[in-house]
């Protein structure tokens, strides 16, 4: 049995029944991670010795019938944006030093530790998570498990690739403009950006309240389980929400019958979508209708908020690097250095004008969700393109936001949004469908996604040649 192919839910069931142990699962996932690292480059560093110690401790707890928590013995990975005690967090940047004591966990990492998870390592990110593909001056290019010439997406590209490869069924990602959903779509896994504040974040993101922390998994059931663990308030995040009213895992059971679903294939003609992507998404939407949802093809009432997003994103980058010396600034990714210059030119009035756009967009989506429980779109209009570049070859756009128009609007509104793998294009590259709900309705996103998995309309895209 390949334990690397199992979900976290399946691993826990096997531990409970004594069919295999956390040590076996950890050894197999570490072997898979290390073997695929040279070609895919999903990891910044492995924490194998620590992992095996934690796995042995977990195995003893399971032997006694006393698991420590909901994820005891499950192998997990953590994006190298989030602090993990005992290991450097370099955020993909040569401007940061490994020196230091590294004594603190980020809130989500602390919750995983409390629940007995086994940490395999830290996953790759572009520098400070600034763009929608994963390459950095520090760690180089992270490649797509399905085609090593293509990008894994970003900025949580290492996490998505690790999950797709079977190098741990669970990973923590971050999402400031699509950074969980983009690589989830490109790599054929599930990724959820929860409602802002549902998962506490510390230290706070330089991109402010655009940035969310969330699960990257093989399916929606694993994501619900992981969210049950990490969606717990932490005093270090003043904007964290109170505890969720119930278990996200329990909430999966409701199905979609009777839900009002708005299907927007192109945001009212604003987005040109590749035909293979459009076809795969439309088939999955038909499955939702077949499961009893009321589906209407319609569009949310907003125009592309790109310039407002850029104002907030670029100014955040400029603030992050404001005190860098000229020598340190030269170490930055050239694209990041460029947006920092643009961000530094923005005035307070420019920033507040972007906030006005954001508030109006939030109002529009609030009214939209009075009529519809869910909005469904493609996650991206394209499948994975050439690795090592920010935009597809021949694109009219200069920045990554040009090919991610379905994702960043919902960071502005702070709504829960997930990418679900719903098929492949003619080259075998995964296609993602995005489900969005009103703020605080993470449960509805997970319910609908789980219904698609249960019906066979969604599944993790298998990676050829990995065993």
Q: Quick: pLDDT tens for 137-159.
A: 999 999 999 999 999 999 999 99
Mean residue pLDDT of the chain comes to 97
Give the H/E segment covering residue 223. helix 220-230
Q: Which tokens go with 64?
A: 């006694």
Please write the tens of the pLDDT for every residue from 317-351.
999 999 999 999 999 999 999 999 999 999 999 99
Q: What is the CATH number of the domain that holds 169?
A: 3.90.1300.10
Phi then psi dihedrals of residue 405, to 5 deg:
-70, -15
CB atoms within 10 A of CB 267: 20
* Confidence (pLDDT) at 215: 98
* Confidence (pLDDT) at 236: 97
Provide the whole-model pTM. 0.98
Domain annotation covers residue 328: no
* Confidence (pLDDT) at 386: 98
Cα distance between residue 131 and residue 145, in whole Å: 19
Catalytic entry in 79, 122, 131, 193: 79
User: Is 179 a known active-site residue?
Assistant: yes
What's the number of domains the chain is made of? 1
CB atoms within 10 A of CB 341: 13
Phi then psi dihedrals of residue 282, to 5 deg:
-65, -40
DSSP state of 405: T
Catalytic entry in 58, 136, 155, 315: 155
Domain annotation covers residue 352: yes
pLDDT (average), residues 1-24: 96
Query: Are 45 and 121 in contact, with CB atoms under 8 Å apart?
Result: yes
As beta bridge partners, residue 212 has 175
Domain annotation covers residue 462: no
Determine if residue 353 is left, alpha or beta; phi over 0 gives left, psi from -120 to 50 gives alpha, anything else beta: alpha
* Confidence (pLDDT) at 465: 78
Domain annotation covers residue 445: yes
Catalytic entry in 58, 108, 159, 179: 179
pLDDT above 90: percentage of residues in the chain: 97
Domain annotation covers residue 110: yes
Please write the tens of the pLDDT for every residue from 225-258.
999 999 999 999 999 999 999 999 999 999 999 9
Instruction: Check pLDDT > 90 for residue 467.
Output: no
Cα distance between residue 183 and residue 122, in whole Å: 16
Domain annotation covers residue 324: no
User: Is 79 a known active-site residue?
Assistant: yes
Look-up: residue for tokens 């690292």? 37
* Confidence (pLDDT) at 1: 67
* Confidence (pLDDT) at 226: 98
Q: Which tokens go with 98?
A: 């490994």
List CB contacts of 243: < 8 A, sequence separation 6 or more.
Answer: 231, 232, 233
Please write the tens of the pLDDT for every residue from 371-425.
999 999 999 999 999 999 999 999 999 999 999 999 999 999 999 999 999 999 9
Domain annotation covers residue 423: yes
Residue 120 confidence class, pLDDT cut points 50, 70, 90 = very high
Cα distance between residue 170 and residue 186, in whole Å: 17
Alpha helices for 42-126 (secondary structure H): 48-64, 107-114
pLDDT above 70: percentage of residues in the chain: 100
Residue 462 confidence class, pLDDT cut points 50, 70, 90 = confident
What is the domain range of residue 203? 3-305+347-454
Domain annotation covers residue 467: no
Residue 464 confidence class, pLDDT cut points 50, 70, 90 = confident
């Amino acid at each position: 049995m390949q334990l690397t192919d199992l979900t976290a839910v399946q691993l826990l069931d096997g531990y409970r029944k004594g069919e295999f142990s956390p040590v076996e699962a950890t050894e197999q996932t570490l072997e898979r991670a290390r073997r695929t690292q040279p070609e895919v480059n999903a990891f910044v560093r492995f924490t194998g010795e620590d992992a095996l110690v934690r796995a042995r401790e977990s195995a003893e707890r399971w032997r006694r019938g006393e698991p420590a928590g909901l994820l005891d013995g499950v192998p997990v990975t953590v994006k190298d944006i989030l602090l993990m005690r005992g290991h450097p967090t370099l955020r993909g940047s040569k401007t940061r030093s490994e020196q230091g004591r590294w004594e603190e966990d980020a809130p989500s990492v602390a919750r995983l530790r409390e629940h007995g998870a086994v940490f395999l390592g830290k996953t790759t990110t572009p520098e400070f998570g600034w763009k929608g593909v994963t390459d950095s001056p520090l760690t180089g290019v992270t490649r797509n498990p399905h085609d090593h010439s293509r990008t894994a997406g970003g900025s949580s590209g290492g996490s998505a690739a690790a999950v797709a490869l079977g190098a741990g069924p669970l990973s923590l990602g971050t999402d400031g403009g699509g950074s969980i959903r983009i690589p989830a779509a490109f790599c054929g896994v599930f990724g959820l950006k929860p409602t802002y504040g549902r998962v506490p974040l510390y230290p706070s993101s330089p991109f402010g309240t655009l940035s969310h922390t969330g699960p990257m998994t093989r399916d929606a059931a694993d994501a619900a389980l992981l969210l049950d663990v990490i969606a717990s308030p932490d005093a270090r995040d003043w904007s964290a929400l109170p505890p969720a009213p119930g278990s996200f895992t329990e909430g999966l059971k409701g199905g979609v019958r009777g839900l009002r679903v708005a299907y927007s294939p192109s945001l009212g003609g604003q987005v040109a979508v590749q035909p293979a992507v459009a076809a795969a998404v439309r088939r999955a939407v038909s499955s939702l209708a077949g499961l009893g949802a009321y589906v209407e093809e319609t569009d949310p009432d907003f125009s592309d908020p790109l310039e407002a997003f850029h104002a907030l994103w670029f100014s955040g980058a400029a603030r992050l690097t404001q005190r860098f010396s000229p020598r340190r600034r030269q170490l930055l990714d050239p694209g990041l250095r460029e947006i920092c210059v643009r961000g530094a030119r923005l005035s307070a009035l420019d920033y507040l004008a972007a906030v006005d756009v954001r508030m109006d967009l939030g109002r529009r989506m609030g009214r939209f969700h009075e009529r519809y429980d869910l909005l469904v779109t493609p996650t991206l209009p394209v499948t994975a393109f050439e690795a090592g570049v920010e935009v597809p070859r021949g694109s009219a756009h200069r920045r990554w936001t040009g090919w991610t128009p379905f994702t960043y609007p919902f960071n502005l509104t702070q709504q829960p949004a997930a990418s679900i793998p719903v098929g492949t294009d003619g080259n075998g590259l995964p296609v993602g469908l995005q489900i969005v709900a009103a703020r605080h309705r993470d449960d509805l996103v997970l319910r609908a996604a789980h219904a698609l998995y249960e019906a066979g309309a969604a599944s993790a895209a298998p990676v050829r040649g990995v065993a």
